[in-house]
Chain A
Amino acid sequence: MLAFANLSYDTAHVLDTGVLVLSFALLYQRRLFGVIKIYAMQALLLAAAAAWQAHAQEAPHLYITAGIALVFKAMVIPIALHRIIVYLNIHRTLETALGVGPTMVVGVALVALSILLVLPVTAASGALTRESLAAALSIVLLGLLMMITRRNAVSQVVGFMSLENGLILAAVGVKGMPLVVELSIAFSVMVAFIIFGIFFFHIRERFDTLDVHDMERFRGERQ
């Protein structure tokens, strides 16, 4: 029957590689809503991975990281992006600079590159740490790839956020990493600013002004 060789190892492994597979799924998407949904799933898995690491490493501060990932990244940001897209009527299909097929091939090559790089360098550490680091580096590279090969600003932001997911994954995967929580908060604030930046850029594009006073006129509240 089903036998679990090593539950802790297996679970961490599954969560890490799940985040990586979702990075590939991000590259496969052609619709903006699909990208956001998959990003939300990726943040959810990241929260689960952080929570598991908090349990396995007995480091309770990682629960905070998991909480931030869950609340902020899996719920607030996707909803906010969804709203922005609907409100500003942003074009919803993604134009790609490189076709989906070649992008995936490059993605696999990047994963192979990360493995070839990380495994020999970390020969002294435990198996799980090495795998987490290799997966995290792959996620970072894939996030960069997404930023390069997509022409849409929102999808570039999502690429950046998935890159940041990879960094957090690396941070929680390594036992005893200091300042993880502070890192998470800092990154989240930066991402929030970037999203605001896009929001304002598009508003200015659409309405030629950022003056809230003028915008209220468009909303019909003032004559």
Chain B
Amino acid sequence: MTGVLLEALQLLLVLVLAPLLTGIVRKVKARLTAKRGPALIQPYRDLLRLLRKDVVLAPNASWLFRTSPYLIFTAVWLAAAIVPTFTTGLAVSRTADLIALVALLGTARFALALAGMDVGTSFGGIGSSREMMIASLAEPAMLMVTFTVALLVRSTSLPHIAEFMVTHAVGIRVSLFLGLVSLVIVAIAENARIPVDNPATHLELTMVHEAMILEYSGRHLALVEAASMVKLLLYLSLISAVFLPWGMDIGDLTAAAVGTGLATYAAKLGIGAVLLGVFETSIAKMRVFRLAEFLGGAFLLGILAAIFLYVSQGL
């Protein structure tokens, strides 16, 4: 029962915090480029405004176009509810391990890419095509991170990984550091952040994610935008749950432990958002075809991490 209650709390928390996170990132980026930037709650206002507007559909938009936003948002929201954030005692944490979680996000991306192809414009096509390319390059890197973590923890179940990292004397491990860098690179690619994609652009040559959702309006657009905000929160939570899980409640389920978990989680999110803003401001967007090397580098770091772990375990 507590598991279900905590799960409901997590669902709500994720929904409420995601726009704030995006607001923080945008504010940090604005401040670092000597601008005032929008208010921190501006994303909430944007979403509410979009929700109330009419939806305008192209004449040949199909049922798939109209139902995709709901499916995309729900899949990402569910995925965010599965990642342990402030506690490992969530009811649905065991329905998907790390691999299944990534695949669930893949389902959302599949639906989004199809929606991009639906209206039959060239922008939608370019967005879908590039998005699928980036996703296919990020997959091997993600698998190598999973492999490295599974090599150490002997599990891919997220609550168990978090628990292991907190309770065992893991020490400073090069492999985990390389795995962290690799996961950060994958997260940047999946969330369409600089240097992979520019979330603030509307020039077709630089769009990937924005191009796919070009035809969406009203509540559909609100859902898709909210989905990408929740996805950012999800990846930050994933990084903190796998590599930096200290402070999380690992099974006590007492009010004090949960409270500490919530506080540390909020702090980690805040720090992550600020670091993301700083990182995006300090580096330029890459040419699309350099992404293969960038993500290949992440894959390479993952393989090196696994090799180093093999060597230190085998001796």
Contacts and interface: CB of A to CB of B under 8 A. Distances in A.
Asked if chains A and B are in direct contact (CB within 8 A), the reply is yes
Interface of A: 1-6, 10-11, 13-14, 17-18, 20-21, 24, 28, 100-101, 104, 107-108, 111-112, 115, 119, 127, 130-131, 134
B174 A4 contact: no
B304 A24 contact: yes
Contact of A100 (B171, B246, B293, B310): B293
B296 A5 contact: no
A74 B253 CA distance: 52
B172 A131 contact: no
6 contacts: A4-B172, A10-B173, A107-B300, A111-B307, A115-B307, A119-B311
B303 interface: yes
B182 to A, nearest CB: 12
Contacts of B293: 28, 100-101
A1 B172 CA distance: 12
Given A101-B293, A119-B314, A24 B300 contact: yes
B171 A4 contact: yes
Interface residues of B, number: 23
A111 B301 CA distance: 12
Contacts of A17: 174, 308
Contacts of A108: 300, 303-304, 307
A17 B171 CA distance: 15
Contacts of B292: 101
B242 to A, nearest CB: 16
Given A111-B304, A119-B315, 19 more contacts: A1-B246, A4-B169, A4-B171, A18-B174, A20-B304, A21-B178, A21-B301, A21-B304, A24-B300, A28-B293, A100-B296, A101-B296, A104-B296, A107-B300, A108-B303, A108-B307, A115-B307, A115-B311, A119-B314
